[in-house]
Amino acid sequence: MESKPTDITVTSASTEASVPSKLAAQRAKYGMLLDASGNEYVVPDYTLKQIYDAIPKECFERKVLTSLRYLFQDIALLTGTFLAFSTYNTSDYISSPIVRFALWGVYGFMQMIFGCGIWILAHECGHMAFSQYKTLNDTIGLILHSSLLVPYFSWKITHKYHHRGVGNMATDTAFTPHTRLSYAQSFNKTIEEIAELVEDAPIYAFTVAVIQQLFTWQLYTLTMMGVGETWFEKKAARDGVENPEKNEDGSLKRTYGLSGSLFNPYSPYFTELDAKLIWINDAALLVVFSLLYYVGVTYGWGNLIVWYAMPYLLINACVIFIASLQHLDPSMPHYNADTWSFIRGAASTIDRDLGFIGHYFWHDANETHVLHHHIGSIPHYHAVKATEAIKPLMGKSYRKDESGMSNIMNTFRQTRRACQWVESSTKSDGDGKGVLFYNSTDHIKHSYAL
């Protein structure tokens, strides 16, 4: 059977009575737009000005002291955990190597939780949500992200393009899914053969998923993984390729390489004016690598691995994990360039309630991501209030998963299985062919079973 996420709720609006008339008008233009679960999708029709007008003015206020308080809280948690474990999880205090090994696992998990909070605050710096002062934001963001081996300015620039083109198959720089054809070609097999492979080799599929989760961030920073076709066109031009290889449907084949790296000042992401900023974050990363080398030489490479390398992998894997949950759900569409608009793209995200950890340690990043894609400069401590303000306006366009942190792994598994590629709805018509919904090999197998 087709996997479906649990407990997805849709907010009702005061204008909900007008939905049937909206659907009638939409069907005349697009045909029926059915998502992966067979529900009819209503294309958003509100405006960005209405979003701004619905939010209380105090939600736009950025308070330096408040932001710094959250930052010092996260640094204290991260530092305190390191000092406690590096001091007491040693043979002087714990004789059993098995117990020490298990405790280092606990340490890695705790640093992942606290480190994600640091990552999210650095993310706010890139959005001018930490404070109203650009220099302060960039200074703090550069320090925080560099400490996690994240190229701050490179990420800030490409993330800006992600926000400008979210949901756009041509211009998004982060979460552009495969089409049915490109998904099949990435395996060099037909969709039907992939379905059989996944069914016959679940351990292989699980291993691939784990590796992807641990190293997706590194692959993204080193190549151009996950970007829209427009960026491949720019990459081909930068690389001097006159006739880049195309798929059967006319789209460019996805070709990755170091020329698209976020560490490369001449990547197609960046302009000549951006290049000096890329050199700055590269220099900052070299400083951090030098410090890590010093720690390894002075205190031992084994200590460096458990103190830093393990948390580094887990933190960045966790960031990809929660970001995927913000952008991956079978109820949400993507758009071709001709049918996309900023509002449609911003509404192609979902909030997920992650309970205590999401609220206190991850600063409501998952609980308020829909708002964030409409207005990125609202600080996290005002985001819950602002989200509540826009729900009535968004109506059915607002989506939230209430299944909670206890069900998070099951939610992630279900969404990964249900969201493997996008294609137009079979009942869509005209411009509706440019509204693309998720599909999966699970759905293919279920269709054959019927």
| C-alpha dist (Å) from residue 194 to 44, 84, 89, 184, 446 | 34, 48, 46, 8, 14
C-beta separation of 411 from 5 below 8 A: yes
Beta bridge pairs of residue 204: none
pLDDT at 442: 64
pLDDT at 212: 72
Q: How far apart are CA 429 and CA 291, in angstroms?
A: 58
What is the identity of the amino acid at 378? I
CA diameter of the chain: 75
pLDDT score recorded for residue 318: 93
Interhelix angle 134-147/97-126, nearest 10 degrees: 160
Neighbours of 65 (CB within 10 A): 7
* Residues 6+ positions from 443 with CB-CB distance below 8 Å: 2, 36, 418
> Rounded to 5, what percent of the chain is helix, strand, coil?
60, 5, 30
Q: Tell me, what amino acid is at 337?
A: A
Instruction: Tell me the residue type at 193.
Output: E
Q: Are 369 and 351 in contact (CB under 8 A)?
A: yes
DSSP letter at 177?
A: P
Say what the pLDDT of residue 174 is: 87
So what's the pLDDT on residue 15?
Answer: 47
Taking the CB of residue 71, how many other CB atoms lie within 10 A of it?
19
Local confidence pLDDT in tens for the 450 residues of the chain: 344 444 555 554 444 546 677 788 888 889 999 888 888 898 998 999 999 999 999 999 999 999 999 999 999 999 999 999 999 999 999 999 999 999 999 999 999 999 999 999 999 999 999 999 999 999 999 999 999 999 999 999 999 999 999 999 989 988 888 887 777 766 666 655 555 555 555 666 666 667 777 788 888 898 877 787 787 777 777 777 777 777 666 667 766 677 789 999 988 889 889 999 999 999 999 999 999 999 999 999 999 999 999 999 999 999 999 999 999 999 999 999 899 999 999 999 999 999 999 999 999 999 999 999 999 999 999 999 999 999 999 998 999 998 888 888 888 888 888 888 898 988 899 889 999 999 876 655 544 333
- Residue 238's pLDDT is 74
- C-alpha distance from residue 278 to each of 20, 22, 320, 388 (Å): 50, 46, 22, 38
What pLDDT is stored for residue 177 in this prediction? Answer: 86
42-47 LR contacts (CB < 8 Å, sep 24+): 42/396, 42/397, 43/344, 43/435, 44/343, 44/344, 44/347, 44/394, 44/397, 46/343, 46/393, 46/394, 46/397, 47/343
If we measure between CA atoms, which residue out of 233, 381, 187 comes closest to residue 224?
Answer: 233
Encoded tokens for 369: 């991501």
Sign, CA dihedral 441-314-284-290, equals negative
The pLDDT value given to residue 60: 97
pLDDT value for 444: 52
Q: What is the Cα–Cα distance from 112 to 359, expressed in whole angstroms? A: 15
Q: How many angstroms separate the CA atoms of 332 and 437, rounded?
A: 7
